[in-house]
Amino acid sequence: MRATVDHTSSPPVLAALALAATLGAAPALAGHEGAVHMEVGAPAGAFDEHVDNLGFGFSLDYAYSGDGPLAVGIGGDFLIYGHQTVVMSLPLVEDFEYNTDNNIASIFLLARLHGGDGRVIPYVEGRFGGGYIWTETKLTDEDWYDDDEIARQTNWDDFMTIWGGGGGLKIMLKRGDPRDRESKDVLLDMKIVYRHGARASYLTEGAISVDVNDRVRIRPSSSETDLLQFELGVAVRF
């Protein structure tokens, strides 16, 4: 099923989140915060015309806030946006598997504006950084008792600049005791980010094939690499 993105709903959602963050009832507390998220990436714009499926992966980030509601930090994410497995049977030898993964990763600086420090905390976030997109094939044997890797090869790769923004909600799961230096706040973190990726060349599922003369054919695509990212995870503030 093709993943599609409705661009018309994004500005109102981001405007509402920005207003909520600006009108927070209480100042955010200073401190460090680290978070880990499960992530789903829906191809958007021209990228959606070439990639038919969702990407799945994870993200990590760290931010520090001073006396005000603004936090700055660094983060990164990783997604697999395509996968293909081919099993080959050869005479007198074990079967082999060719596993091809299409991957995209990024590292970025972030700025996050929180709306208060209550049980539910809305925020908006901006990002700027760099991305790497690559396709890798791994050859393994098919023994039932192991999965020995025989060879690994990067078939195609490229770099791009990324930037974007979005917003989300943090829900307090456990508030730490300020009198205990080892006590930490634990929060459920949900966010949506539109990430614009500059033009890059990349491979999609089925872009690597073998013709009748056993020659490998690679058909790269090229476009901007936008993603609409949905992230769900846990943040710890200390």
Q: What is the pLDDT of residues 11-34, one digit of tens each?
A: 444 554 544 445 444 455 568 999
Would you state the CATH architecture of domain 7-237?
A: Beta Barrel (2.40)
Residue 21: the pLDDT is 45
Is residue 15 helix, strand or coil?
helix
Q: What is the pLDDT of residues 203-228, one digit of tens each?
A: 998 888 766 565 778 899 999 999 99
Please state the pTM of the whole predicted model: 0.80
* Residue predicted with more confidence, 172 or 4: 172
For the record, the structure tokens of 95 come out as: 């079967």
Residue 89: the pLDDT is 64
- Say how many Å lie between the first and final Cα of the chain, rounded: 42
Q: Is the pLDDT of residue 232 over 90?
A: yes
> Domain locations in the chain?
7-237
* Residue predicted with more confidence, 88 or 186: 186
Weakest-pLDDT range from 63-67, 158-162, 190-194, 228-232: 63-67
Mean pLDDT of 71-80: 97
Residue 223: the pLDDT is 96
Mean pLDDT of 97-101: 85
Q: What is the pLDDT of residues 130-180, one digit of tens each?
A: 999 999 988 877 665 555 667 788 989 999 999 999 999 999 999 877 667
Q: What is the DSSP letter of 70?
A: E
Give the integer Cα–Cα distance in Å for 160 and 97. 31
Is residue 123 helix, strand or coil?
strand
